[in-house]
Amino acid sequence: MAALATFATMAKDHEGNRLHGRSRDGSAGGNDNRDGGIVTERRTKEQTKTKKPPLYKCILLNDDYTPMEFVVEILKQIFYKPHAEATRIMLHVHQNGMGVAGVYPYEIAETKVRTVEELARESQYPLKCVLEKE
């Protein structure tokens, strides 16, 4: 009987949760009870949920000097937009003065903003990209 109680204490269910052996009278097992049966309790682990990181918008600002083709290429290469969507965003920026290029966690958004401004500077264009919390 004690060997069976020890086995039940060390057993695990199909999900990997540990099953703890108890005799029907509530003792930890090993004691001789009248029915001879073992009741098992399922103990589950607490699951901690991670919070999703806050998101930031990468916003392109319009200027009078940066060519539209350059903005489309930036949207395709840095923000991985298809040509049609890149053109639509570029026209929105041109007509409204600003437009959202993408929404990302802070570190990714910051890297994309820096990359856009570096490429614009290398090409001698005044294109600006800024972050805004969503």
Tell me which H or E stretch contains 88.
helix 83-96
**43 in helix, strand or coil?**
coil
> Would you give the distance in Å from CA 13 to the centre of its chain?
30
Provide the whole-model pTM: 0.64
pLDDT of 18 above 60: no
Arithmetic mean of pLDDT, 100-119: 97
CA dihedral 94, 69, 114, 51 (to 10 degrees): 70
Give the start-end residues of each E strand in 16-94.
19-23, 38-42, 55-61
> Is the pLDDT assigned to residue 120 strictly greater than 50?
yes
pLDDT tens-digit series, residues 45-86: 778 889 999 999 999 999 999 999 999 999 999 999 999 999
